[in-house]
Structure 1
Amino acid sequence: MAKWGEGDPRWIVEERPDATNVNNWHWLVTISVNESNPTADILKDFMHRHGKEVIAQQLGNYVKMQTNNRPSNNVTSSNLYTTTLNLGHTFQCTAEEFYNAMTVLELVQAFTRSPVKLEAEVGGKFELFHGNIHGEFVELVPNKKIVQRWRSKRWPAEHYSTVTFTIEQKDDHTEVRVLQIGVPQSETDSTRANWEYYYWDSIKRTFGFGSFIV
């Protein structure tokens, strides 16, 4: 299964406040002279000896100046705009079966199709989808409620949302409500879509919870 929210660092050119070259990128300075005569040869020799270093240094100074003058785009939890997701879904299974699918290591590994770290106890940690989703359990009420501190790796550092699963069994199905508080506004649509694809659809495909109980 695709890895939730994982980017390829090879495609990222990191920006540094000090304009330091962090990915072994370098300036390539090429000098050419159209005419060949004693004056041109002297100029070309001088530029090869001294000019390239001066030009490269000035380019570096220019990049540093532009970086220093650019408004800071660092985002922390203290200045992050967030929103709340209120999701609902119906599963053709018992409340116990859904609860187990979210808290039993082997079952979570089955629907995520990836290695999982899971300690289903209050204060226990979890790590899903190759580490792209991680957090800890805050509250566990068997077959009724699960509360987690939950974050995506692509979110600002140390920012967690609070996810509450409310599980209610009906006569022939189970209704699950998910309240997620603290989702970065820029991640709202992708987070909602990922719940649908990586959790609900995958759980139904893996365990057959999309079929009616007979």
Structure 2
Amino acid sequence: KTKHTRLWTREQQPPPMAKLGEGDDRWIVKEREDGRNVNNWHWSETSYTEWAREKLGARFEGVAIGDGTRSAGKLLSLETMKGDVTVQSRKQKRFPLYELELTIRWEGQLFDASGGTAVEAKGRIKVPDLSEETYDDLEMTVLCDEETDAKRPLKELVRKEGGKAVRAACLAFVRELKETVMKGHEPPPQKAPPRERFNAGYVAASAETAKTGAVKVVYSYNPPPHVLYETLLDTQRIRGITASDASMSTEVGGKLMMFSGAVEGENAELKPFDGERAVIKWKWRFSTWQPSHWSTVLITMVKQDDGSTKLTLEQTGVPEDERERTERGWKGMLFEPMNAMLGGRVIGA
């Protein structure tokens, strides 16, 4: 007979199981409001836009420009901030995405020989693009509310010294943003727009889906069209590119699933490379949209003279309040990782 070794003697009892609230924190499931995204393992997105508005506003308020001898100026305030700042989370890794357009108010004075104010001017500094690609080499335009020859020296002062101050403030903001994300700090909660519940998941309200917009993204890739066509329909390649679960199909009518279920769809039309172009058309939706609401994604891959591929994605029927999120997702979660894998660049949108 086979002998079995006891784990405990008759006098001993097995160790008691941990009581609720006393277990090892590493095994405690956290942030399970809907039970679908434990510890941010799957893709999720958190808005830092209002946090960014507050931080940038503080950095531009009352910043002195010039030495104060013959002229003086200062940055007054952040007048407008357009765009979004979000933090993407996937497999417990967090990284920020931001594309901002800024307008900063300024004022300045020129002094006469006695130290009195001879000329005063006010205006704006416009930063058209603050993003991960531009933050260390910002372009900006200095405008004066009233352009005159007398005020031109002040405008030049703001262009030189004010430009330095704006760049320094933006660099400091980006460092603070990345440090905040690395430390796992969350922004103060923001009031969410009205939502409806469906199968324990939040979806865009039916009134919101009536307003739709379009998304367009254009990339240039080094490989020829047939490589991109095969990549976008291959389950294993999409899993590798997105670092999440996926299920793709090479048949018309075949179902697709990406980002561990965050995206679902169907192949509506497939045209393999014919020597000139390849086409993929998807019936596509986020799983958090209304169950009956679908968008249409058309991906066209055209061969260029040098053998590379111009890829154009055009998506219609996107709920208006989801349009920016959708465009960021295409760029940050699919096409940029494809760039890293295949080689290429964004050439328009």
TM-score, with structure 2 as normaliser: 0.39
Q: C-alpha separation between the residues in 2 aligned to 1:194 and 1:78?
A: 20
Contact 1:6 1:132 in 2 (8 A): no
Per-residue Cα deviation, 1:118-139 (whole angstroms, up to 9, x for no partner) = 2221100000101001100000
Letter in 2 for 1:134: E
Identity across matched positions, percent: 25
Higher helix share: 1
- Structure scoring higher RCO (CA < 8 A, sep ≥ 6) equals 1
Which residue number corresponds to residue 135 of structure 1? 265
- The one of 284, 288, 303 equivalent to 1:169 is 303
Which residue number corresponds to residue 319 of structure 2? 184
Higher strand share: 2
- The one of 189, 200, 214 equivalent to 2:335 is 200
- The one of 288, 299, 305 equivalent to 1:154 is 288
Structure 1 stretches of 4+ moved >3 Å = 1-7
Contact 1:145 1:165 in 2 (8 A): yes
Contact 1:5 1:132 in 2 (8 A): no
Which residue number corresponds to residue 117 of structure 1? 247
Which residue number corresponds to residue 35 of structure 1? none
Count of matched residue pairs: 151
Classify the secondary structure of the residue corresponding to 2:260: coil
CA RMSD of aligned residues (A): 3.1
Check 1:174–1:180 CA distance in 2 against 1; reply closer, same or farther (3 A cut): same
Trace 1:1-214 onto structure 2 (pairs within 5 A). Answer: 3-5=42-44, 75-76=205-206, 80-143=210-273, 144-172=278-306, 173-205=308-340, 207-210=341-344
Contact 1:89 1:177 in 2 (8 A): yes
Check 1:204–1:74 CA distance in 2 against 1; reply closer, same or farther (3 A cut): closer
Contact 2:265 2:282 in 1 (8 A): yes
Q: Runs of 5+ in structure 1 lacking a partner?
A: 23-72
1:183 positional shift:
0.3
Check 1:74–1:116 CA distance in 2 against 1; reply closer, same or farther (3 A cut): closer
1:208 positional shift:
2.9
Check 1:6–1:95 CA distance in 2 against 1; reply closer, same or farther (3 A cut): same
Q: Runs of 5+ in structure 2 lacking a partner?
A: 1-39, 47-188
